[in-house]
Amino acid sequence: MIATKTLRAAATALVLAAVPVAAYAADPQPSPISRPSSSDRITAGKVLEQLRAMGFQGEVKADEDGSPRIVTMVDGYKWIIYFYGCDKDGALESRGCSSLTLRTGLVVDQVTAESVNKWNSEKRYARAYTVVGDNGKTILLLDLDYYMTEGTDAVKAFNAHFELMRHQARAFRKHVDA
């Protein structure tokens, strides 16, 4: 059982790294909600600080469009945190961003559309979908998005959404028997 989980986690890490960002959703459409002030925006540095405080490691990297993203491991699975609506100037870690996506994935031999649709119709917050990686493997992805609003405590919001995603990811793995 542990060896299987280790192999799946390793495969997930390899496949998530191999799938180009363009295979996921492009930068989301601008929200009709007003852009949060600079003090309400989230930064990769704040998120990385919180991850480390929770006992996780992470690395800030630049995405294809120059926005920050964080790569980390949670419960033996690779997670990528994508940032959107970010300032274009300054150090990558300190650019204020208006939203982010928490993403994790599983490499699966097969999954039915019914199983993914059942998840999406019965669950809130995190949504699942499949993509085919460059290596031809099917990847189940699970995303949780959130947008910072005026007056939001960025650190508290991240912590709440992180725990929600962690719970959803565990439930999703159980749902698909991973």
Domains and CATH numbers, the chain: 2-25+33-175 (3.30.1460.10)
Residue 171 has pLDDT above 70, yes or no: yes
Phi, psi dihedrals of residue 72, rounded to the nearest 5°:
-150, 170
Q: In what order do the strands lie in the sheet with 68-74?
A: 58-62, 68-74, 77-84, 99-108, 138-147, 127-132
CA–CA separation, 133 and 28 (whole Å): 21
Residue 130, CB half-sphere, CA atoms under 13 Å: how many?
Answer: 18
CA–CA separation, 94 and 114 (whole Å): 42
Which residue carries 């959803």 as its tokens?
Answer: 168
In this structure, of 48-62, 85-99, 124-138, the range with the lowest mean pLDDT score is 124-138
pTM score, whole prediction? 0.77
Residue 24 has pLDDT above 80, yes or no: no
